[in-house]
Structure 1
Amino acid sequence: MTSINQLPAEGYVRLSQIIGNPKANPPIPAIIPVSSTSWWEGIKSGKYPKPVKLGPRTTAWRVEDIRALIQSI
């Protein structure tokens, strides 16, 4: 699991930065090790923060929301 210190200081993170992507080159380690299906179900249930649409095909999460989630776990 990646540490909270590897998140940017401010801004947005994409899903692959949160749940990781071992197939990327280089591999992206997970900050929150869950599947994408579990992540989206967690959003629907309120367990995980809601995303922000940055464009028609771009979804991201505020770093502050992800840091708060990690602190609450």
Structure 2
Amino acid sequence: MTSTHFHADPEFLLTIFDLSSTAERKERIYKDRKGHTRIIKARPPKKGILPMGESTIWEKVRRGEFPQPIKISSRITCWRKSDIVEWLKSKQ
């Protein structure tokens, strides 16, 4: 059995949170169809490396339009920084 070792340098791997950007969201309170009150918490804006959100990045991965991520555990997915840099260069 062969194992794959990944460089542990945090500058080498990027997470979805490093890549994605999100707009500011104000707190909202509303009632759903059943009359339950829902509170959506406020969220500050976040500027990632890319000007797109998480769902857009994942959609591009599914369509083969974005580099494939590396699954480093059952709950952690990252991208090689070099793959992202090459992808950005290809878009210029």
Establish whether TM, by shorter chain, passes 0.5: yes
Which string of whole-angstrom CA distances, capped at 9 and with x for unpartnered residues, describes residues 1-24 of structure 1?
A: xxxxxxx3xx21101101135757
Whichever of the two has the greater Rg, that structure is 2
Q: Distance in 1 between matches of 2:80 and 2:46?
A: 18
Name the TM-score, length of structure 2 as normaliser: 0.58
Question: How many residue pairs were aligned?
Answer: 62
Q: Distance in 1 between matches of 2:46 and 2:85?
A: 18
CA RMSD of aligned residues (A): 1.9
1:17-32 pair list within 5 angstroms:
17-20=18-21, 23=43, 28-32=46-50
Name the TM-score, length of structure 1 as normaliser: 0.71
What corresponds to 1:5 in structure 2? none
Does residue 49 (structure 1) correspond to residue 67 (structure 2)? The answer is yes
Amino acid aligned to 1:16? F
Does residue 12 (structure 1) correspond to residue 30 (structure 2)? The answer is no
Runs of 5+ unmatched residues, structure 2: 1-10, 24-42
Q: State the identity %.
A: 26
